[in-house]
């Protein structure tokens, strides 16, 4: 009997990015992460996803941390492991499309500060929104991975995914990720999808799912059997629920098979021991909502990704309307359909989610439309797989409003110089202009905080000096 060729599956660890973004609203601090970096660096992960996505915004807004500083600390600590970030195509790490010069500069600085793999996606799967970032990553000699935002719907056939994958390979991507934000990809569908993708392209295929609907581990098993090269997992204390399947579980699953990862369970157990108290603390403080931890089979009905579920819970809590949770969840697919049935992933998930909240709380659909809803219906986020609901489009942007059909960024003039002037007084490092570009208000607040801290430290030093050398 011919022996099956060995093909170890590679593991990308997500605990420093997606796992805590999905379970505890991205609140893990750099200080909580750094002590374990050295051990994590010894595991032999394919990569550690540790930056981008919502971490940038959350560091600044809630933790008063400079995200660039966090990245540099990771780079110092991870000497043998590739660092991966999540990048929202033309939206970078923000919530609107940016001019090409900002996208290019952000990619350049991410690579310069230590990122090896840039996972780039577009919430509409409009590849025109990916080209600038992919070309920039190629130029920086970073690994450009393009993620297809996985979703369900009439438009999303196997042919759709194969065609998209081919175009991604042709545009210069080094690998493809199937990004299943909501855990919608079920095991036997995964077999079909991965088999088809393997036929369509020759670059590596990475699978990214969330455990939300409870099938994640099985989906990975079938994906790997069908030829997937890499899977994204999270260390068990921050695994499952709206996060990824557990690293240790997947490692054990493939042990002794041709797909054996070769990772050391004892070392993984030590890493899990480190993160468990952080999880317990988050549970105690209420940061980790038990609602996001179990299996939520309704995700298959509402197709809502993990991060979006916890955001909706928070949004409704703030409005004192927690009782409307399921009503809003039911409104989500309706709004999605009106907006051309895009995948639900940042920023489309926020746009659809917020509009769904408005529709429910106002008691009338589209009585109030957000600016972002207007922009989507004006084509500013790119082309959707299905047409918009013409009635809704008319109600929201008016009968004779202009609708964009070109690559949206073609209409955005370069903005880096203007942005630099706007935040001139705060700039202490090159990267500050990018921070400001993404979140002008939050960045300014952070810059003020940073300055105040520095003044405090200076004053302290002066005090000490006065004490040591009395005048």
* Sites of contact with Co ion (CB under 5 A): 18
Spatial CB neighbours of 200, under 8 Å, sequence gap ≥ 6: 162, 163, 165, 166, 169
Of 204 and 343, which CB lies nearer to Co ion in the complex structure? Answer: 343
Spatial CB neighbours of 417, under 8 Å, sequence gap ≥ 6: none
DSSP string spanning 200-261?
Answer: H--S-EEEEE-GGGS-HHHHHHHHHHTT--EEEEB-GGG-STTSPPBHHHHHHHHTTSTT--
Q: Which of 337, 351, 383, 378 minimizes the C-alpha distance to 126?
A: 383
Question: Shortest distance, CB of residue 307 to Co ion, whole angstroms?
Answer: 7
C-beta of residue 176 within 8 angstroms of C-beta of residue 168? yes
CA distance 323 to 357: 12
Question: Shortest distance, CB of residue 177 to Co ion, whole angstroms?
Answer: 10
Of 120 and 443, which CB lies nearer to Co ion in the complex structure? Answer: 120
DSSP string spanning 341-385?
Answer: -----TTHHHHHHHHHHHHHHHSSTTSS--HHHHHHHTTTT---S
Q: Omega into 243 within 30° of 0, i.e. cis?
A: no
Question: Shortest distance, CB of residue 61 to Co ion, whole angstroms?
Answer: 20
Of 229 and 338, which CB lies nearer to Co ion in the complex structure? Answer: 229
Question: Shortest distance, CB of residue 187 to Co ion, whole angstroms?
Answer: 18
Question: Shortest distance, CB of residue 16 to Co ion, whole angstroms?
Answer: 13
Question: Shortest distance, CB of residue 302 to Co ion, whole angstroms?
Answer: 17
Question: Shortest distance, CB of residue 366 to Co ion, whole angstroms?
Answer: 29
Of 18 and 341, which CB lies nearer to Co ion in the complex structure? Answer: 18
Of 99 and 351, which CB lies nearer to Co ion in the complex structure? Answer: 351
Question: Shortest distance, CB of residue 400 to Co ion, whole angstroms?
Answer: 40
Radius of gyration of the chain (CA): 22
Of 350 and 389, which CB lies nearer to Co ion in the complex structure? Answer: 350
Residue with tokens 């959707």, as numbered in its chain: 384
Residue 249, token pair as written in the block: 């579980």
Of 206 and 432, which CB lies nearer to Co ion in the complex structure? Answer: 206
CA distance 9 to 198: 15
Of 18 and 375, which CB lies nearer to Co ion in the complex structure? Answer: 18
Of 233 and 355, which CB lies nearer to Co ion in the complex structure? Answer: 233
C-beta of residue 348 within 8 angstroms of C-beta of residue 381? yes
Region of residue 147 (left: phi > 0; alpha: psi -120 to 50; beta: else):
beta
Of 78 and 121, which CB lies nearer to Co ion in the complex structure? Answer: 121
Q: Which of 156, 151, 82 minimizes the C-alpha distance to 114?
A: 82
Question: Shortest distance, CB of residue 178 to Co ion, whole angstroms?
Answer: 11
Helix, strand, or coil (residue 414): coil
Q: How many residues does the chain have?
A: 471
Cβ neighbour number for residue 385 with a 10 Å cutoff: 18
Residue nearest to Co ion (CB): 18
Question: Shortest distance, CB of residue 216 to Co ion, whole angstroms?
Answer: 11
């Amino acid at each position: 009997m011919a022996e099956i060729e060995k093909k170890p599956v590679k593991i990308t660890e997500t605990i420093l990015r997606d796992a805590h973004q999905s379970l505890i609203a991205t609140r893990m601090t750099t200080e909580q992460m750094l002590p374990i970096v050295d051990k994590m660096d010894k595991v032999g992960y394919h990569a550690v996803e540790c930056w981008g996505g919502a971490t940038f915004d959350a560091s600044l807004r809630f933790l008063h941390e400079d995200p660039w500083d966090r990245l540099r600390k990771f780079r110092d600590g991870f000497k043998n492991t590739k660092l991966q970030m999540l990048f929202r195509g033309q939206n970078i790490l923000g919530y609107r499309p940016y001019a090409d010069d900002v996208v290019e500069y952000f990619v350049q600085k991410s690579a310069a500060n230590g990122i090896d793999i840039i996972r780039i996606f577009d919430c509409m799967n409009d590849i025109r929104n990916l080209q600038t970032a992919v070309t920039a990553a190629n130029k920086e000699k970073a690994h450009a991975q393009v993620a297809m935002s996985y979703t369900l719907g009439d438009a999303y056939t196997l042919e759709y995914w194969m065609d998209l994958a081919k175009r991604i390979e042709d545009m210069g991507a080094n690998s493809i990720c199937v990004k299943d934000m909501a855990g919608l990809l079920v095991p036997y569908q995964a077999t079909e999808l991965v088999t088809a993708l393997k036929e369509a392209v020759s670059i590596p295929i990475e699978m990214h799912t969330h455990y939300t609907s409870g099938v994640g581990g099985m989906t990975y098993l079938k994906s790997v059997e069908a030829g997937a090269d890499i899977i994204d997992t999270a260390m068990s204390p921050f695994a499952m629920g709206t996060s990824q399947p557990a690293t240790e579980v997947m490692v054990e699953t493939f042990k002794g098979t041709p797909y054996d990862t070769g990772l050391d369970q004892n070392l993984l157990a030590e890493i899990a021991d480190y993160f468990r108290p952080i999880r317990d603390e988050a549970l105690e403080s209420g940061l980790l909502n038990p609602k996001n931890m179990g299996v939520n089979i309704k995700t298959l009905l509402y197709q809502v990704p993990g991060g979006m579920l916890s955001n909706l819970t928070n949004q409704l809590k703030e409005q004192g309307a927690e009782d409307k949770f399921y009503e809003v969840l039911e409104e989500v697919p309706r709004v999605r359909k009106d907006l051309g049935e895009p995948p639900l992933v940042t920023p489309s998930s926020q746009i659809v989610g917020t509009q769904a909240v408005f529709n429910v709380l106002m008691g009338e659909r589209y009585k109030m439309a957000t600016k972002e809803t207007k922009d989507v219906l004006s084509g500013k986020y790119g082309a959707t797989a299905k047409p918009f609901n013409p009635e809704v489009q008319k109600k929201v942007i008016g009968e004779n409003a202009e609708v964009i059909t070109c690559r949206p960024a073609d209409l955005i003039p370069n903005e880096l110089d203007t942005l630099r002037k706007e935040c001139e007084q705060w700039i202490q490092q090159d990267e500050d202009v990018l921070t400001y570009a993404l979140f002008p208000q939050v960045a300014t607040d952070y810059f003020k905080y940073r300055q105040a801290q520095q003044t405090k430290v200076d004053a302290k030093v002066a005090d000490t000096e006065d004490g040591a050398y009395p005048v």
